[in-house]
């Protein structure tokens, strides 16, 4: 790879007249993106100060975000993408933990920070929609050809990526310029991103999805980046057509929202050809292709590590690919022994889950893991026995294809059997009335767990419209213990800033949420009744009667 750092890749675009960045309001060539980045790099250098050179960015997907990514690369700083959906103590903790010395935000973000002790002086809060900001840029522009700071190397930290926190407190994953540059080059080839592509970015730029699978590959290939401030299902297709977008990135919930939009005869009349993302079900992938003429490429990766699996174009439906190197395997997390292949039935359901499903590890990946910022406990959890442990579950079929089986907390123990929350989620998403679904275990009043689902339905629709009992009875690949005993119904389930469901939060709420909860109490096929306050009180009594009060959700 000729360019070993993000700074190298950016400087290679100096003078490039190809469109680099588009918004609805205006466009910038790549050469102009480099110039804008260099101006901000000069400003960052003046404000560097003592301590870690960390620049917090608290913005939606606006051009300033892209310019400050480039500025950080040239100045040798690390961008901390601050999640604008955070509030109060949680927001304060994340900013203080990452030791930001400078924060770039707007008036809205400034309001979120008001009253918080984030450890950043007021003169180091750059507010992009304040007139003083434009004055500051004008004073530092036109200082000659763009250049990188002399201490920038492949090892220079480029990003501190705050994990989404779907399963607990977020951590700041370190990503160096060298790793991000390599990912950009590899992913541009892996996801077929060329200079001719226009890459539409509806996922937030503070998240690894947009940075590693869109921004960095587009920079490497010299493709065009098209921005939208925030994801909008209703605005998705109009944006795609306006920009002439050929590629985008996604998460499964966003795909669900797009598919929930009313279908029109001209849906396929758009320039999209392909997209990359995670957690879209095979059914949604097939439906998206048939409706919009765009193939969704499901992949596996994380902010902490990527490149463990390689995509195989003609692989089985739902497969992530095959190992990119010898050390990638599925192991029992206790014995560390390699799990045997999964035996799949006609529906692709694992018939031997207890022995086949284990944790995805890379026995050669410890050296590639760059760690979490100032969090040795989290580092020790990821690297054990010299191996890199992903915290993700998976299985491998007899042909060697890997499949994702959920996060490490996605096992639900029902009547002594392990139930995959991910499988039940995928089954629920087949129901056309379900926009999004999260499945998790809640304690049983006697022993083990029961399956609970949280489903999001469109405004104006009702739980009864789902005909859930009849629907579930017709799903041949849903085991008898996989059907949810509790169903929380909402028109807006809680999500992270990257549009993933907050499953940990919903699991802690359990059936004591303020949303309506329907319960199936009998045997035979599912039959749901709305839980009343009296029902919830009676259920609490069952926990007390069986000495399991401590397990109450």
Q: Which residue has the tokens 């927001």?
A: 91
Report helix, strand or coil for 410.
coil
At residue 412, does pLDDT exceed 90?
no
Mean pLDDT of 32-42: 98
Rg of the chain over all Cα atoms, to the nearest angstrom: 24
Residue 21 φ then ψ, to 5° = -145, 130
Q: Which residue spans within 318-428 are E strands per DSSP?
A: 322-323, 328-331, 358-362, 383-384, 387-396, 402-407, 411-414, 417-420
Task: Note the pLDDT tens digit of each residue in 493-542.
Answer: 998 888 889 888 899 899 999 999 999 987 778 899 999 999 999 999 98
For the chain, how far is it from start to end, CA to CA, in angstroms? Answer: 52
Cα angle 327, 173, 96 (rounded to 5 degrees) comes to 160
Alpha helices in 394-532, H assignment, sequence order = 421-429, 468-473, 503-509
Distance, CA of 424 to CA of 429 (rounded, Å)? 9
At residue 12, does pLDDT exceed 90?
yes
User: What is the predicted pLDDT for the residue at 164?
Assistant: 58
Alpha helices in 120-224, H assignment, sequence order = 131-140, 177-190, 208-210, 216-221
The closest alpha carbon to 358, from 415, 396, 309, belongs to 396
Number of C-beta neighbours around residue 266 at 10 A: 8
Task: Note the pLDDT tens digit of each residue in 122-167.
Answer: 999 999 999 999 999 999 998 889 999 999 999 999 999 997 554 4
At residue 451, does pLDDT exceed 80?
yes
User: Quick one: pLDDT band at residue 431, thresholds 50, 70, 90?
Assistant: very high
Helices (H) and strands (E) in the chain, counts: 18, 27
Distance, CA of 24 to CA of 317 (rounded, Å)? 37
The closest alpha carbon to 434, from 499, 490, 497, belongs to 490
Reading the block at residue 100, the tokens are 């930001």
Reading the block at residue 377, the tokens are 């406990």
Write b or e for each residue in 476-499: b if 16 or more Cβ atoms lie within 10 A of its Cβ, otherwise e. Answer: eebbebbbbbbbbbbeebbbbbbb
At residue 86, does pLDDT exceed 80?
yes
Residue 411 φ then ψ, to 5° = -80, 135
User: What is the predicted pLDDT for the residue at 166?
Assistant: 45
Mean pLDDT of 74-91: 92
Length of the chain: 553
Q: Which residue has the tokens 């491998």?
A: 396
Report helix, strand or coil for 409.
coil
Report whether 188 contacts 214 (CB < 8 A): no
Mean pLDDT of 348-360: 86
Q: Which residue has the tokens 């279908």?
A: 263
Report whether 309 contacts 323 (CB < 8 A): yes
At residue 480, does pLDDT exceed 90?
no
Distance, CA of 339 to CA of 354 (rounded, Å)? 9
Q: Is 233 exposed, middle or buried (0-12, 13-18, 19+ CB in 10 A)?
A: middle
Kindly give the interhelix angle for 233-243 and 252-259, rounded to the nearest 10 degrees. Answer: 90
């Amino acid at each position: 790879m000729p360019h070993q750092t993000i700074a190298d890749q950016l400087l290679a675009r100096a003078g490039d007249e190809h469109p680099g960045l588009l918004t609805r309001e205006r466009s910038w060539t790549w050469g102009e993106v480099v110039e804008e980045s260099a101006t901000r790099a000069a400003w960052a250098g003046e404000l560097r100060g003592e301590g870690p050179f960390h620049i917090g960015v608290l913005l939606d997907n606006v051009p300033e975000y892209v310019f400050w990514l480039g500025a950080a690369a040239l100045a040798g700083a690390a961008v901390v993408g601050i999640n604008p959906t955070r509030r109060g103590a949680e927001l304060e903790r994340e900013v203080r933990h990452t030791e930001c010395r400078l924060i770039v935000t707007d008036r809205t973000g400034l309001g979120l920070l008001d009253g918080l002790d984030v450890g950043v002086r007021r003169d180091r809060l750059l507010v992009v929609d304040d007139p003083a900001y434009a004055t500051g840029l004008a004073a530092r522009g036109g200082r000659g050809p763009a250049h990188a700071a002399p201490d920038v190397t492949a090892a220079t930290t480029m990003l501190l990526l705050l994990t989404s926190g779907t399963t607990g407190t977020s951590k700041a994953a370190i990503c160096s310029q060298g790793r991000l540059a390599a990912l950009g080059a590899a992913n541009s080839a892996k996801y077929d991103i060329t200079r001719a592509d226009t890459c539409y970015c509806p996922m937030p730029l503070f998240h690894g999805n947009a940075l590693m699978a869109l921004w960095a590959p587009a920079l490497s290939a010299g493709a065009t980046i098209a921005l939208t401030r925030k994801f909008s299902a209703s605005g998705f297709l109009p944006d795609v057509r306006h920009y002439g977008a050929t590629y985008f990135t996604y998460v499964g919930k966003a795909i669900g929202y797009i598919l929930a939009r009313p279908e029109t005869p001209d849906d396929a009349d758009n320039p999209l050809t392909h997209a990359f993302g995670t957690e879209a079900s095979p059914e949604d992938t097939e439906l998206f292709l048939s409706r919009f003429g765009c193939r969704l490429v499901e992949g596996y990766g994380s902010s902490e590590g990527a490149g463990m699996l390689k995509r195989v174009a003609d692989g089985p439906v739902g497969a992530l690919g095959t190992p990119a190197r010898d050390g990638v395997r599925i192991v029992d997390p206790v014995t560390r022994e390699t799990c045997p292949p999964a035996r799949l039935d006609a529906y692709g359901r694992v018939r031997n889950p207890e022995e086949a499903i284990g944790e995805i590890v890379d026995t050669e990946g410890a050296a590639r893991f760059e760690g979490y910022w100032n969090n040795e406990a989290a580092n020790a959890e990821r690297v054990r026995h010299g191996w890199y442990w992903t915290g993700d579950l998976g299985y491998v079929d007899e042909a060697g294809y890997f499949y994702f089986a959920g996060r490490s907390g996605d096992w639900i123990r029902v009547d002594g059997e392990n139930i995959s929350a991910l499988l039940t989620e995928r089954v629920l998403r087949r129901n056309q009335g379900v926009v999004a679904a999260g499945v998790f275990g809640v304690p049983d009043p006697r022993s083990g767990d029961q399956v609970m689902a949280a489903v999001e339905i469109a405004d104006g629709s009702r739980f009864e419209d789902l005909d859930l009992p009849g629907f579930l009875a017709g799903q041949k690949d849903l085991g008898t213990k996989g059907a949810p005993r509790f169903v929380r119904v909402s028109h807006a389930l809680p999500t992270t800033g990257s549009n993933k469901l907050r499953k940990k939060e919903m699991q802690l709420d359990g059936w004591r949420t303020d949303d309506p909860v329907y319960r199936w109490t009998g045997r035979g096929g599912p039959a749901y009744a709305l839980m009343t306050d009296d029902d919830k009180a009676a259920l609490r009594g069952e926990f007390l009667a069986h000495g399991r009060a401590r397990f109450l959700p």
